[in-house]
Amino acid sequence: MSGHFQPRCRPPVGLVRPVAVDPAGRSGPTRRQAQGRRWRRTTEGHYVPVDGTIDCFEQRVLEQSIRLPPGGAVTGRAALRLAGAAFFDGIAPDGRTPLPVPLVVPPTSRIRSTPESVVSREPLLADEMTLLHGIPATVPVRALFDEVRLLGAREGTVAVDMTAAAVLVSCRELGDYLDRHRRWRRSAVVEQALRYASEESASPGESRMRLLWVVDARLPRPLVNQPVFDDRGRLLGVADLLDPVAGVVGEYDGSSHRTARRHAADVGREHGMRQAGLEYFTVTGPDLGDAVRVVERMCCTRARALARPGRRGWTLEPPEGWVPFETAADRLDRRDWLRARDAGA
């Protein structure tokens, strides 16, 4: 099971709302002050003070929201971040490049995309809008639908996984929304992402590793974050990825695995699983950029597992009295059940 990635983030604090130029210098900078070093231009005609303004995605979202016309909202990654999904930090997978803030506006709006924001013109119903930290935003299921269409199927799958991990949108909920919007632009991308998504994934690295297994290596869909026991009923570990037919465990080794204590635990878990007859491979963050090497590692491990003779000393059957881990899928099921009960009442 992956390390210390937390799918939920804390609400933003200390955001600074941009202000317009004020000739008197009371509610905003004078025109001359705005041209100085103490103020930063955010959008046309709006500024924030350089000192005291935090550098975070939520601040960028607030700054770009100033452009919204009536009936518009931030959507996609911006709305999901405001709703508490930690994965959507506004940075590309390379860890450096800032991503633009997605805005959805009425079809009659004249605002255009900029390097800082990407604009889409599509219908937006009143019940699809909310106010998050004072910013007009789409509700999570609409935001996720927009984000997946923007990202494409592969990274869109990761987005679906991590929105589920944050207990914001279930795959069922997104599928129902898709069914009502199949004629919308790029809706087929959402269908593709749902085909590969998992509510059991605990980190983006796990999701990307699973996509290499299923899409690139074309291997059977694995179990995700699956508890594995020895033949005495003792827990061997929770496999990030498990092929129960071949007996293969795949582990994503993220940055949290770098501590000596965590590394020692990883080595012990791998030894126990190998002793029980499981084959084992590990994928690190840098490995994800080399699909050919990872796919070769996966396929070789699976071939070795299928050719390995000997007694199977592991099982997926939990011992008597085992209390299952609560997963995001469990929490989403409970949330959806409560919603249905409240709607019925």
For residue 1, what pLDDT band results from cuts at 50, 70 and 90? very low
What single-letter amino acid sits at 302?
R
Orientation of helix 187-196 relative to helix 171-180, angle to 10°: 160
Pair (82, 148) in one structural domain: yes
How confident is the model at residue 262, as a pLDDT?
Answer: 67
In three-state secondary structure terms, 251 is: strand
Q: What is the pLDDT of residues 219-266, one digit of tens each?
A: 999 999 999 999 999 999 999 999 999 999 999 997 554 555 666 777
Angstrom distance (rounded) from CA 129 to CA 124: 8
Pair (94, 191) in one structural domain: yes
Pair (108, 155) in one structural domain: yes
Q: What is the pLDDT of residues 55-69, one digit of tens each?
A: 999 999 999 999 999
How confident is the model at residue 334, as a pLDDT?
Answer: 84
Average pLDDT (330-339) is: 82
How confident is the model at residue 2, as a pLDDT?
Answer: 45
Contact between 310 and 273 under an 8 Å Cβ cutoff? The reply is no
pLDDT over threshold 60, residue 202: yes
The pLDDT mean for the chain works out to: 92
pLDDT over threshold 60, residue 121: yes
Average pLDDT (150-166) is: 97
pLDDT over threshold 80, residue 338: no
- The secondary structure element, H or E, covering residue 258 is none
Pair (210, 112) in one structural domain: no
Pair (187, 216) in one structural domain: no
341 occurs within a structural domain: no
pLDDT over threshold 90, residue 336: no
What is the DSSP code string of 163-195?
A: HHHTTS--HHHHHHHHHH-TTSTTHHHHHHHHH
Pair (160, 258) in one structural domain: no
For residue 9, what pLDDT band results from cuts at 50, 70 and 90? very high
Average pLDDT (312-316) is: 93
Range of the domain at 59: 54-199
List C-alpha distances in Å: 311 to 164, 236, 271, 278, 314. Answer: 38, 16, 16, 10, 9
- The residue from 141, 165, 199 where one domain ends is 199
In three-state secondary structure terms, 331 is: helix
Average pLDDT (271-287) is: 94
- The residue from 160, 177, 199 where one domain ends is 199
Average pLDDT (189-203) is: 96
Minimal CA–CA distance to 197: which of 212, 189, 207?
207
128 occurs within a structural domain: yes
Average pLDDT (276-292) is: 94
Average pLDDT (117-121) is: 96
Pair (158, 211) in one structural domain: no
Pair (228, 165) in one structural domain: no
5 occurs within a structural domain: no
Contacts of 180 (CB under 8 A, 6+ apart): none
